[in-house]
Every structure is written in structure tokens, then in C-alpha cells.
Structure 1
Amino acid sequence: MDINNLEQMQQWIEENLLTPKESMEITNQSRSSFNQSVNNGFIKPFISKDGIRMYLKSEVEEYARNKKR
């Protein structure tokens, strides 16, 4: 990916970053359970700015596969 190419960067973001809501759907968690996973460090925001958090899709999917059910 050429970081100077905005279209490529936007495509990468859309394919690889998740909102909290999207992350909760993948992990099959309620908002409170998801927030607890974040607060306990099991899921870490890839980027956090001005109250906006985005999560790396691959990490969320890995957590979903490995979390206790």
C-alpha cells in the first residue's frame, strides 16, 4: 500500500478497521461485555482519537475465536 495514495489508504481502512459496533457483532458481545474486554486489555483499539476508537479486524476476529463462550 502506498500511504501517499488516499484511495488505497481509504480502502485499507474500510477493509481492516472496525467500529465498536462491528467489533461487538464479530465477538457476539453486548456493549458492556465488549467494554469490559477492552478495559481488561483483551481487545485494544488500533486507533483512538477524540473519543473515537477503531479496532483492527484481524485482532477482533482472533479474540472472537479464542474467547471463552
Structure 2
Amino acid sequence: MKTKLAIAAAALSLTTLAGCIHVSDDGVSNLDEIAINTETALRVCGGEGTVAEVTDDGFECKDDE
């Protein structure tokens, strides 16, 4: 039973991480701007998994391949 629970927890964790957004850490100075740009990027790029990078200056969508 514990093994099944551990496997389910691991699967849930991997699924959650699949939608992560990369935030540039090179001299980030304004976390409020990053939060605003993250929300905008999710709307403009089309949701989780479609944003390549978010900075305090803007964001970049992933290329359609």
C-alpha cells in the first residue's frame, strides 16, 4: 500500500512540474514585475507549458514545433 501511495505521489509531483515556468535569475530586481509578467505570459502564450522564460522586463513564449 505504501508503494502505491509513493508512486502516486511521485506521478503527481512530475505532472505538477511539467507546467513550470523558467524565471531568469540573472540580476532579478523586481519580483512584483515578474509576477505580473508571469500572469501576462500565461494568458498571451496559451497557458502552462507554453512559456519559455519570464524576467522583470518581459517574457518569451516557447516556439511551436
TM-score between both structures, scaled by the size of structure 1: 0.33
TM-score between both structures, scaled by the size of structure 2: 0.34
| Higher alpha-carbon Rg | 2
